[in-house]
Structure 1
Amino acid sequence: MKPLSKLIKPLLLISVVLGLLWFNHSVLHLSPQGIRTWILTFGWAAPVLFILIYTVRPLILFPASVLSLTGGLAFGPVWGTVYTIVGATIGAVLSFWLARFLGNRLVSARSKEKWGKLEKNMQQKGFIYILLLRLIPIFPFDLISYGAGVAKVNFWAFLFGTLLGIIPGTFAYNFLGSSFLQGNTSYLIIAAIVFVLVTLVPLILKKRVANKS
C-alpha cells in the first residue's frame, strides 16, 4: 500500500497538467488575433486586462508565446513589450511563491535527494541560473518558475534574473506580432530576422562561455 500511496501525488499532478494542456488546446484554442480583437474592446482598460491575463496565465498553463504575440498585435512592439514584461514577471512571481508553498507537499524526500546537488547550485547561483534559463529558450517558461520555487532559489535573484532574462525574447515576440498588422513583406522579413537573432544569440554566448570554462 505504501508504494501505491507515494504514486498518488505525482499521478494527480501529472493528470492536472495534462488536463490543463488539453483544455488550452481543445477548448480554448485561442489565437493572437482573436485575443487582440476581444481585448481591444475594453478601450483604456485593455492594457490592464492584458497584464492581468498574463499574470494568471501560468495557473492554466496557457502558452506564453500566444499572449506575447498578442501584445505586439494589440499595443505595438514598444508598449506591447512593456505590458508583457510586467505581466510575465508578476505571473512568474506568482508561480514561484505557489511552488514554494506547495513544494514540500508535492516533492518526496527521495526526489529531493536525487536533485539535491542541482538544488544547492541553484540556491548559491540563483541569479545566473535563472538569467540563462530565461535567455535560452530551451525549457518552458512556467517550468522554470515552478522549479525555482521548489528549489528555494533566493526570491530577489529569481525576480531580477527573470526580469532581465525575458526582455530580449519578449521584444522579439512583440515585434513579430506587431509586424503582422503592417501587411508589408519586407517588414515581416525584418521581424523574422530579429526574432531569429534574439533567439540564437543567447545560445551562441552560452557555447562560448562553456568553451572558455
Structure 2
Amino acid sequence: MPRYQRLLAVIVFLGVLALAFQLSGLREHFNLAFLHQKLLDNKLSGLLIFVLLFALGNLIQIPGSVFLAAAVLALGEAWGGVVTYVAAIASCVFTFWVIRLLGGDALRQLRGRVARRIFVQLDAHPVRSIALLRMLLQTVPALNYVLAMSGVRFRDYLVGTLLGLPLPILLYCVFFDYLAKALHLARF
C-alpha cells in the first residue's frame, strides 16, 4: 500500500476510534476519579481495567499522567509507579502494533533532508534515541505513532521504551504523592 494510503488509514482509524469513544460514553471513564475507584474496588480486576483503559486511552490521546495519578492515589507511590510502568509498557506495545499494522513504515518513505537526518540518527542509535524520547515525552501517543511508522525494529522500540520510562514515571510518582499529601487527598 502506498505511504499516503497508509497514513490516511491511520488517520481514519484514529478518527473513527475517537468518535466511537465519544459517542459510546466510554470517554467519560477516562478520568482520575473513575480509575482511582476501579483500582480500589478490586485490585485484580481494577488492575486489568487500568491496563486496558491505559492502552485504549493512549490510542485516543488521553494523557498518561491521568493514569499515573490514579494509580499513585489508589496504590501509593511505589506500587502506583510499578503498576503504571507495566501498564505504560503494555500500552506502548499495543499502540505500536496497531499503528504498525495500519501504517507500516509510511514515515520511513518520506523524502527530504530533515527526514533523512532524523532517520540516520534513529538508525545509528535506535535504543538510545527511543530511550531519550521516552524520558522527554513518556507515552505521548503521537510519539508512539511516529515510532511505529518509522520502520524501527520492535525489539529496539521495546528496549528503548523499557529503559526510558522508569525515570519520568518515578519523578511523576514523587510529584503526585507530594501533591496528594499537600492537598490531603484520600489515599489507600
* TM-score where L is the length of structure 1: 0.66
1:83 to partner: Cα distance: 0.8
1:84 lines up with 2:84 in the alignment? yes
The Cα RMSD (Å) is 3.5
The equivalent residue for 1:135 is 135
1:59 to partner: Cα distance: 2.3
* Alpha carbons of structure 1 residues 126 and 57: separation in structure 2 relative to 1, 3 Å: same
Q: For 1:156-171, what aligned pairs fall within 5 Å after superposition?
A: 156-171=155-170
* Alpha carbons of structure 1 residues 74 and 150: separation in structure 2 relative to 1, 3 Å: same
Question: What is the DSSP-based 3-state SS (H/G/I as helix, E as strand, rest coil) of the residue aligned with 1:35?
Answer: helix
User: Which letter does structure 1 place at the counterpart of 2:86?
Assistant: V
Q: For 1:15-164, what aligned pairs fall within 5 Å after superposition?
A: 16-17=14-15, 20=18, 23=22, 28=28, 30-104=30-104, 107=106, 112-114=110-112, 115-137=115-137, 141-164=140-163
Question: What is the DSSP-based 3-state SS (H/G/I as helix, E as strand, rest coil) of the residue aligned with 1:113?
Answer: coil
1:78 to partner: Cα distance: 0.7
User: Which letter does structure 2 place at the counterpart of 1:160?
Assistant: V
Farther off after superposition, 116-125 or 87-96: 116-125
* Alpha carbons of structure 1 residues 62 and 18: separation in structure 2 relative to 1, 3 Å: farther
Structure 2: which 5+ residue stretches go unaligned?
none
Identical amino acids, percent of aligned pairs: 23
Question: What is the DSSP-based 3-state SS (H/G/I as helix, E as strand, rest coil) of the residue aligned with 2:42?
Answer: helix
Structure 1: which 5+ residue stretches go unaligned?
1-5, 189-213
* TM-score where L is the length of structure 2: 0.74
Question: What is the DSSP-based 3-state SS (H/G/I as helix, E as strand, rest coil) of the residue aligned with 2:62?
Answer: coil
User: Which letter does structure 1 place at the counterpart of 2:151?
Assistant: K
Select 1:13's aligned residue among 11, 14, 30: 11
* Alpha carbons of structure 1 residues 36 and 101: separation in structure 2 relative to 1, 3 Å: same
User: Which letter does structure 2 place at the counterpart of 1:32?
Assistant: L
